[in-house]
């Protein structure tokens, strides 16, 4: 058997060519070099270590140990490798003692090409002793450290067990290592290099663009109604994730979606581990389910046909937003990232940072990161240009985000901003006379619009010079102004009652200078359909739009066949074959094993295992 990377790609995985930097990375690692790979979610990181693992095993260098925090996904990852005929196993806390012993025997006998293990397992004295023994025999081929950003405290998924992984370099300096992550910021990258001692590693940075994902951010206005419209109009019967901030909101939203006839499952860290695993398995195995989740869900989820990721609450920062939205459309087909956000989100996120027990420097970094996300949300130019710019990549307007598709109207809010600031200034002055009072957003807007509420009467705010000076603007417009002022850091909402206060920088706005252009909030923005034909022609049965009727039927028959195989093997359907591979079979109608083997995604093992059956399914549809 050849140990040339390209032959392995073709023979084992059934793919014609490497993508992007894959070829370079694979070559470098096969030759024994260290690598740090930064690639967006869905970019194809797995093959970067799986192909070298096979190559090095074939060349007699032994096993590849894959370090991953994703215990709940190891079963499926290993299943996918076994499907293509690669001997793989995992060691983690879900195994019984006997099962683990069997795998250790396989490991020591050289029967494994890849072994997945959690970091805490890799660094146990027992496992290190086993690796010592393999190493002495020259049978420790490669270390792959997946989700390498977990080593960074600055990142969003810090795992202290990752810090112990520096032992790999100290103990097995001659064994090559490849670290992989989809987190791109400089800080995290520097941490990975330092903490994993990857100073000598070649760094491969891919473009972080995900061109098939359409970005949309809408102003919060009855978020449930907005979400329902998004799901019904654009994604009926499709699989997707809805992110919420709290466990309670996850539960409520999932229950409500089910009441509305949309099959949804909750997922958060407060659920029993068994329930979490069951919901994750169902999401991966069944079609068209909506997962309503906190950020506890999603890392490493490699379901290729997630068609949308919706945010009902604002994420912490752009890194989190990009990672979460990146779970959509890994198959390269059109997918959508959709978010609603409002004033309360801004205030909440700021408060969470302020109230956290972290040190000042950490808080300062978190605030800066939140500001960048708010600027993205308020932007009226291309969202993708801003996202990529954040990751240090220059680009041109994309034509596939809400702002490119429907450029929002803007209005000059400079004067309005000044009015709002001076009104807050009057509150503060008044506060000095009467002691601290809680004047929040609602009251501010009432005063600006000249509404005679009880609170206005109580504090005699109708006497303020700013009373009623903003009657010409709607409440919604004022909320938008205030949100922007908070996003820009000119105003803060402090304390339990979100009392508004000016910051230093408000002074320059009050004095004039910068103009402030705001989006005109659109009630129901016109939305171009995703360019993949009518979604949800029948619930859960979306098919590639470019297949004719007969091919659609073959596609459906192949999917039914695949569902049975997946059930038998206890694996998600996409592990057997991707939709795209089945669609290609339906389109080409191969009549022989040789022709079937040419279809992308059909490797030697799958051809041998399933070839005859697939030809039979296709032949049955031909009559």
42 near ligand ADP, judged by CB under 6 A: yes
Q: Which is nearer to Zn ion, 10 or 216 (CB)?
A: 216
Contact with ligand ADP (CB under 6 A) among 270, 304, 431, 440? 304
39 near ligand ADP, judged by CB under 6 A: yes
Residue 302, sorted as left (phi over 0), alpha (psi -120 to 50) or beta, turns out to be alpha
Tell which residue, 46, 53, 9, 63, has the closest CA to residue 29.
Answer: 53
Tokens of 48: 């970067």
Cα–Cα distance measured from residue 531 to residue 542, given in angstroms and rounded to the nearest whole number: 13
Which residue in the shown chain puts its C-beta closest to ligand ADP?
44
Determine the 3-state secondary structure of 293 from DSSP.
strand
204 near ligand ADP, judged by CB under 6 A: no
88 near ligand ADP, judged by CB under 6 A: no
H-helix or E-strand spanning residue 204: strand 202-205
Contact with ligand ADP (CB under 6 A) among 29, 47, 242, 370? 47
561 near ligand ADP, judged by CB under 6 A: no
Tokens of 175: 């064994």
DSSP 480-511: HHHHHHHHTTSEEEETTTTEEEE-TTHHHHHH
Q: Which range binds ligand ADP by CB under 6 A, 34-42, 211-219, 485-493, 551-559?
A: 34-42
Q: Which is nearer to ligand ADP, 330 or 386 (CB)?
A: 330
The entry of Zn ion, ligand ADP, none near residue 18 (CB within 5 to 8 angstroms by kind) is ligand ADP
DSSP 416-445: HHHHHHHHHHHHHHHHHHH------HHHHH
519 near ligand ADP, judged by CB under 6 A: no
Contact with ligand ADP (CB under 6 A) among 43, 69, 544, 572? 43
The entry of Zn ion, ligand ADP, none near residue 384 (CB within 5 to 8 angstroms by kind) is Zn ion
Determine the 3-state secondary structure of 301 from DSSP.
coil
Phi, psi of 90 (to 5 degrees): -135, 150
Determine the 3-state secondary structure of 572 from DSSP.
coil
Alpha-carbon radius of gyration of the chain: 27
| Pair 604, 11: CB distance under 8 Å | yes
52 near ligand ADP, judged by CB under 6 A: no
Residues with Cβ within 8 Å of residue 607, at least 6 apart in sequence:
14, 593, 596, 597
Tokens of 493: 């909402």
> Min. distance of Cβ 250 from ligand ADP in angstroms?
24
86 near ligand ADP, judged by CB under 6 A: no
77 near ligand ADP, judged by CB under 6 A: no
Q: Which is nearer to ligand ADP, 55 or 244 (CB)?
A: 55
41 near ligand ADP, judged by CB under 6 A: yes
Q: Which is nearer to Zn ion, 114 or 398 (CB)?
A: 398
The entry of Zn ion, ligand ADP, none near residue 401 (CB within 5 to 8 angstroms by kind) is Zn ion
Contact with ligand ADP (CB under 6 A) among 6, 24, 32, 46? 46
330 near ligand ADP, judged by CB under 6 A: yes
Q: Which is nearer to ligand ADP, 38 or 377 (CB)?
A: 38
Q: Which is nearer to ligand ADP, 304 or 489 (CB)?
A: 304
DSSP 27-90: HHHHTT--EEEE--TTS-HHHHHHHHHHHHHHTT--EEEEE-S-HHHHHHHHHHHHHTT--EEE
The entry of ligand ADP, Zn ion, none near residue 19 (CB within 5 to 8 angstroms by kind) is ligand ADP
318 near Zn ion, judged by CB under 5 A: no
> Min. distance of Cβ 489 from ligand ADP in angstroms?
35
Binding mask 393-432 for Zn ion (x = CB under 5 A): -----x--x--x----------------------------
Q: Which is nearer to Zn ion, 295 or 404 (CB)?
A: 404
With the C-alpha atoms ordered 314, 320, 322, 323, is the resulting torsion angle positive or negative? negative
Q: Which residues pair with 341 in a beta bridge?
A: 219
Residues that bind Zn ion (CB under 5 A): 382, 384, 398, 401, 404
Residues that bind ligand ADP (CB under 6 A): 15, 18-19, 22, 39, 41-47, 302, 304, 330
């Amino acid at each position: 058997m050849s140990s040339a990377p390209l032959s392995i790609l073709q023979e084992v995985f059934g793919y014609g060519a490497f993508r992007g930097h894959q070829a370079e990375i694979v070559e470098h690692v096969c030759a024994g070099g260290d690598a740090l790979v930064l690639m967006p979610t869905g970019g194809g990181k797995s093959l970067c270590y799986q192909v070298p693992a096979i190559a090095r095993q074939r060349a007699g260098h032994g096993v590849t140990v894959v370090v991953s925090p994703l215990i709940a996904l190891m079963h499926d990852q290993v299943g996918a490798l076994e499907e293509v005929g690669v001997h793989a196993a995992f060691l983690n806390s879900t195994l019984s003692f006997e099962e683990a012993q069997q795998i250790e025997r396989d490991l020591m006998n050289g029967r494994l090409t890849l072994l997945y293990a959690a970091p805490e397992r890799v660094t146990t004295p027992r496992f290190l002793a086993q690796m010592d023994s393999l190493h002495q025999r020259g049978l420790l081929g490669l270390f792959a450290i997946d989700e390498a950003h977990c080593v960074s405290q600055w990142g969003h998924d810090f795992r202290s067990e990752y810090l112990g992984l520096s032992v790999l370099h100290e103990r097995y300096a001659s064994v090559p290592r490849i670290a992989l992550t989809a987190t791109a910021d400089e800080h995290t990258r520097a941490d990975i290099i330092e903490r994993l001692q990857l100073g000598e590693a070649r760094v491969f940075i891919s473009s972080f663009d995900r061109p098939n994902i359409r970005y949309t951010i809408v102003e919060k206005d009855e978020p449930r109604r907005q979400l329902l419209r998004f799901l019904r109009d654009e994604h009926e019967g499709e699989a997707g994730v809805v992110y919420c901030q709290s466990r309670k909101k996850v539960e409520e939203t999932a229950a409500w979606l089910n009441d509305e006839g949309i099959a949804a499952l909750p997922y958060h860290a407060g659920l029993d581990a068994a329930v979490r695993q069951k919901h994750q398995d169902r999401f991966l195995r069944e079609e068209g389910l909506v997962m309503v989740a906190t950020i506890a869900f999603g890392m490493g989820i490699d379901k290729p046909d997630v068609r949308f990721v919706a945010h009902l609450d604002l994420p912490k920062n752009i890194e989190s937003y990009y990672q979460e939205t990146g779970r959509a459309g890994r198959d390269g087909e059109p997918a959508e990232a959709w978010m609603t956000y409002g004033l309360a989100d801004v205030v909440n996120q700021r408060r969470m940072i302020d109230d956290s027990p972290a040190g000042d420097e950490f808080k300062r970094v978190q605030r800066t990161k939140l500001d960048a996300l708010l600027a993205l949300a308020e932007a009226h130019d291309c969202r993708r240009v801003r996202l990529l710019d954040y990751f240090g990549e220059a680009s041109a307007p994309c034509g596939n985000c809400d702002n490119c598709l429907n450029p929002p109207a803007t209005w000059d809010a400079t004067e309005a901003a000044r009015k709002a600031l001076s009104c807050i200034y009057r509150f503060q002055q008044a506060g000095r006379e009467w002691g601290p009072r809680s004047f929040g957003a609602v009251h501010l807007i009432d005063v600006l619009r000249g509404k005679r509420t009880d609170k206005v009467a109580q504090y005699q705010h109708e006497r303020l010079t700013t009373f009623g000076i903003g009657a010409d603007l709607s409440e919604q417009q004022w909320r938008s102004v205030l949100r922007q002022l908070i996003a820009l850091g000119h105003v803060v909402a402090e304390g339990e009652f979100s009392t508004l206060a000016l910051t230093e920088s408000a002074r320059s706005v009050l004095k004039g200078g910068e103009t402030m252009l705001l989006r005109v909030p659109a009630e129901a923005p016109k939305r171009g359909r995703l360019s993949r034909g009518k979604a949800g022609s029948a619930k859960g049965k979306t098919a590639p739009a470019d297949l004719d009727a007969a091919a659609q039927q073959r596609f459906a028959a192949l999917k039914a066949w695949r569902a049975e195989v997946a059930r038998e093997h206890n694996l998600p359907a996409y592990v057997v074959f991707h939709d795209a591979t089945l669609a290609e079979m339906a389109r080409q109608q191969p009549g022989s094993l040789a022709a079937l083997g040419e279809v992308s995604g059909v490797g030697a093992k799958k051809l041998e295992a399933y070839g005859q059956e697939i030809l039979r399914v296709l032949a049955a549809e031909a009559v």
